[in-house]
Structure 1
Amino acid sequence: MRKVGAILLLVLALQLALSSAIPTPFASFVSKKKARSAPRQQISKGTKQETPKAVNSAKGATTRPPVDFKAIGKYVGSLAVQMSALFLVWSCIDTVVTAVPNGEGLPRWTNTILFYALNLLSSKFNPLPKVSEGSYASPGRKRPSWTPPGWVFAVMWPFFVFGTRAYTMALIVEKVGYYANPITMSLMLHLGFATLWNSM
């Protein structure tokens, strides 16, 4: 059983070494989108700014922009690919662990590392391209006075959020007895939505 745990940890360490899977902030996507949009016209003081509306010339009524079904299909398809791949990964781990004669399962610390690594590697299962790296800085953004400094997020995400999530899932796997369970797949769905957030 220790050999199986050591092999899994070695594979995850190699993936982490080759991975740049730390999520890209959504701010870079927003700034890129703004850069592509047309610049706003200067409006003199005293004039009222109006947003352009699409007008149906036949009926004279305003129309809503069309639904981008292509984008919806792209994201739904990507989420389906991610969930299928992750379910396959957990099913393979179940097969390997149950094949061990003593049937004790992996130790809790190994499961914790396994789930922690998956937090970092989840974006590797996303077939869509990621948003290009951009600056975190948003000079024009107004933040409340109680906003914590940036280093707080750098500490909270890797240690508190990923750590507690990984340890909790390790406890759940011990209770349920297998990895490809509905609770684990619910976490995978959450991570899938997180990777779509950083996709183009």
Structure 2
Amino acid sequence: MSTAPSASNAPEQSPDRRSLRERRQERTRHELVDAVLEIIAEGGLPDATIERVSEVSGISRGTVYAHYPGGRDALLRDAYARLGRELVERTRAAAAAANDWRESLLAHASAMFDLAADARLGHFYNVSGPTLVVDGAERGIGSGASAAMIGDTLLAAQRGGAVSAEVDARATAVLLVGALRESAIGIASTPSGSTTYFAAFTRLIDGLAAG
């Protein structure tokens, strides 16, 4: 019969030192971003107005502006950042489950292309979003993390002799992220092209293998 872990064996959790007000504010912002993403997924970016966000979330316009004084643009920045963080989480999990360096790198393509093929969210993240979020921390959440992960994977594969020693791991990682981004832009406009882009990215990866 299983028993609950004792207090001494239970994993320690850092106490949440935020005030009740701070936690409520974060929850409200989370709900507002949920509403923005739901609206974009259903009707596209033009439907993501403050009025519509207020309606879907059940949160008054005044409260929306209290949390986002920058209005719609500020909300869209947070929505863009949320998609970037979720993409990184999915990619990291898939890469961790891969059997080798090649599968690990292809996990980046699978995660990015799946999002890009989502009719409206994919277009927002890869096409319309970057025209709105032109600077700031939100801009590089996905690409920065992907470049770091891909670079680390290539370096580890080089140490194991699987990737050519002539490959500059960090520079190649940046180039591969650029290839993924351009492919995602194409897929966002023509989702049926996902298979073609994935095959092309696979050939790029295969070219990195040690001879």
Fold shared, TM-score > 0.5 on shorter chain: no
TM range (shorter): 0.3 to 0.5
TM-score by length of 1: 0.33
Higher relative helix content: 2
Larger radius of gyration between Structure 1 and Structure 2: 1
TM-score by length of 2: 0.32
